[in-house]
Amino acid sequence: MSLFARSRKLASFLLLFLGAQAATAQTPPPASDEPELVEFDTSKTRSIAVPALVAPSPVDTPAGNSAALGRQIAEVISSNLRASGVFETQGPNGLRAIGLPEVTAPQFGYWKARPVEQLVQGFVRVGGDGNLTVGCYLYDVGFGTETTRLGFNVPPRDWRRAAHKCADAIYSRLTGELPFFDSRIAYIAESGPKNKRIKRLAIMDSDGANHRFITNGQSTALTPRFSPNYKSILYLSYVDGNPRIYVYDIDTGRQRLITQSNGPTFAPRWSPDGQTILYSMAVSGNTDVYKISASGNGTPIKLTSSPGIDVGGSFSPDGRQIVFESDRSGSQQIYVMNADGSNQRRISFGGGRYATPEWSPRGDLIAFTRIAGDFRVGTMRPDGSGERLLTNSWQDEAPTWAPNGRVIQFFRTAKGSGKTGIWQVDLTGSNERQLPTPVDGSDPAWGPVLP
Amino acid sequence: MTKNTIKMAALLLVSTALVAGCGKKKVDNLPPAAEGTDYGQTSTDPNAAGAGQIMPGSQEDFLQQVGQFGDRILFETDRFNIDAEDQAILQRQAQWLAQYPGTRITVEGHADERGTRDYNLALGERRANAAKNFLVSIGVDAGRIQTVSYGKERPSALGSDEQAWAQNRRAVTVTVR
């Protein structure tokens, strides 16, 4: 059973409201329209306790016993919240088991003494149809009040998604940011020596779970991008001996070229609505940026025409503008243009070279790789102001945004060995950590929050 | 012309001797075999079959005739211009190609690891095409030359230092069977 067969069943991923007061829980505050940078206040790290979810009358499911699932769901919630860097979490390990009545009537005095500020409790029930009902409650320990409650009805194999949804709701409620845990990542799994690197297309959940290799590594695969609906992946493959962009259909396992051309095509990107594909093509050695309908039967439209290398690109969330890189000035720099190619203007002036621009899903920032000696990942506003570098290592490259525009993943290459890994950092440059992958990883591409 | 050819032959003998003398070390510096080609290994391996068994017009013959590293030209960081040294190397390749008019080639463009992935693919294209354009300008039929960019995906030298990067910023000519 593939991950994506599962995603076809998203319609059955039913959100239950456990009482009227939860009605606003799934509508976190909208992203700010103000252009000013919003700072995380990391001094306000909140401590959260997540005891194992209660499984009244435990039963076996295809994903394991419901009591074990209750503990595993608490582990995922705890680990998601901890990895966000905003929270310190306790549990489920080291916390006492709670009883079912306690789920809705917490012993605030006990938790206050631990001490914790927030408490997440819940239950897992197995229904007559074999599906799980996961209930999830957030309490403010100091005030002794319930903050929010949510319920999810999922097939047992999707228990992780219920945990992610619960963690997302808690994260949104407590930070005011949009959710991002329940999302997936496409990337390139790397193995083998530096001069014979095997590069395979692979996908995983945003926390590295549910990992799956898609290509077998016989031909080099590079630079994947999930379609906004997660049904297909754009990527580069050398399968015919030349670098060319394919659309891989996840349900059927089939792929097609995005355009018939003699020239090599690379650096594929989706428009936010999934209707248009942005790509780069070299003709007689000169690379320009093009776009074409994702339907497969359109005519390519050439957007740039400088004699320099114009490459890559990323749509603004409203689809009206494109940020891309060009060395028309003599070195790689970042430019913005309208989606029809008009009004091309340079926005990076900080010294050194600038590459791999990616527009935040919130629209407020552009992430990039800055090359000045070492490679570092940073952000700037779409007008080029407010530049900040978030990482400092020998070679950090190719940022990709979390769906909430608050966290960035990128890949880090080691000097000498060429070994790579996928890393994550938040917009303050804090909470840097490596994602667990079965082999080395590069070219991460984060998809949107699952419905 | 005849004089030049004789000079060249003498030069080749010297360089072939040098290659044999250098032994295994040089083999380590060669890039991995390109898919579908017999790339590079035999000509510099002193244990390989003798020169008498190399088939005229083959990749082995090409590598032997153009001399060690005569199959490639190197570039400065982010550059793709063909300097005098590159021209001499490409001229020697063109002379070999003139002997075997039925042989086609692929010029592989490469970049060092100190560039971003997409840009390096574009840079490899530029370098491969620069080499191709020069070969065409000195009389090689453009229809015989394909290009492919490997960006930073196939380094020849494995270190992370200036010397290795200099070897990796290259355009390599490979014969196509």
Whole-angstrom Cα distance, residue B71 to residue B84?
A: 15
Residue A285: which of B116, B119, B129 has the nearest Cβ?
B129
- Rounded Cα distance between B67 and A295, Å, is 50
Q: Tell the CATH superfamily of the A3-175 domain.
A: TolB, N-terminal domain (3.40.50.10070)
Task: Compute the nearest-CA separation of A329 from chain B (Å).
Answer: 13
Dihedral, A194, A197, A200, A203 alpha carbons, nearest 10: -10
pLDDT at A22 over 80: no
Percent of chain A whose predicted confidence (pLDDT) is above 70: 90
ipTM > 0.85?
yes
Show the domain range for B9.
2-176
Which residue ranges make up each domain of chain A?
3-175, 185-449
What pLDDT, on the 0 to 100 scale, is given for residue A18?
62
d(C-alpha A145, C-alpha A151), whole Å: 18
A369 in B contact zone (CB under 8 Å):
yes
Q: What's the pLDDT score for residue A91?
A: 86
**Mean pLDDT over the full length of chain A:** 91
The answer to whether residue B20 scores a pLDDT higher than 90 is no
pLDDT at A25 over 90: no
How far is residue A2's CA from residue A250's CA, in Å, rounded to a whole number?
9
> What local confidence, expressed as pLDDT, does residue B13 receive?
37
Give the pLDDT confidence of A242-271 residue by residue, as tens digits: 999 999 999 999 999 999 888 999 999 999
Contacts of A242 in chain B (CB under 8 A): 148
What digits encode the pLDDT tens for the residues A351-385?
A: 999 999 999 999 999 999 999 999 999 999 999 99
> Is residue A290 a contact partner of residue A281, using CB atoms and an 8 Å limit?
yes
pLDDT at A281 over 50: yes
Structure confidence by residue, pLDDT tens digits, A286-320: 999 999 999 988 899 999 999 999 999 999 999 99
Homologous superfamily of domain range A185-449: TolB, C-terminal domain (2.120.10.30)
In this complex, do A355 and B31 lie within 8 Å of one another by their Cβ atoms?
no
pLDDT at A17: 55
Q: Which of residues 285-304 of A touch B (CB under 8 A)?
A: 285-287
Chain B neighbors of A325, CB-CB under 8 A:
118-119
- Can you give the pLDDT at residue B177? 75
A331 pLDDT more than 90 = yes
Tokens of A280: 């780069």
Give pLDDT tens digits for A218-228: 999 999 999 99
CB pairs under 8 A between A and B: 103
For range B88-93, the mean pLDDT: 98
CATH number at residue B111: 3.30.1330.60
Amino acid B16: pLDDT: 37
B interface with A, Cβ–Cβ below 8 Å: 31-32, 35-36, 78, 80, 113-119, 121-123, 125-126, 128-130, 132-133, 147-149, 151, 153-156, 158-160
Res A6: pLDDT: 42
This prediction's pTM: 0.85
Cβ of B129 within 8 Å of Cβ of A284? The answer is yes
Instruction: State whether A418 and B123 contact (CB < 8 Å).
Output: no
Beta pairing, strands A244-249 & A232-237: antiparallel
Nearest chain B residue to A312, by CA: B118
Total count of domains within chain B: 1
What was the pLDDT predicted at A262? 82
Q: Which residues in chain B have Cβ-Cβ distances shorter than 8 Å to A286?
A: 126
Give the nearest partner residue to B116 out of A196, A280, A356, using CB atoms. Answer: A356
Q: For the sheet with A353-359, list strands across it.
A: A353-359, A366-372, A374-380, A388-389
Instruction: Compute the CA torsion angle A5, A6, A9, A10 (nearest 10 deg).
Output: -130
Model confidence band, residue A15 (pLDDT cutoffs 50, 70, 90) = low
Residue B10: pLDDT above 70?
no
In chain A, residues with a C-beta closer than 8 Å to the C-beta of B153 are: 197, 199, 220, 222
Cβ-contact A16, A151 below 8 angstroms = yes
Q: Residues of chain B with pLDDT > 70: what percent?
A: 71
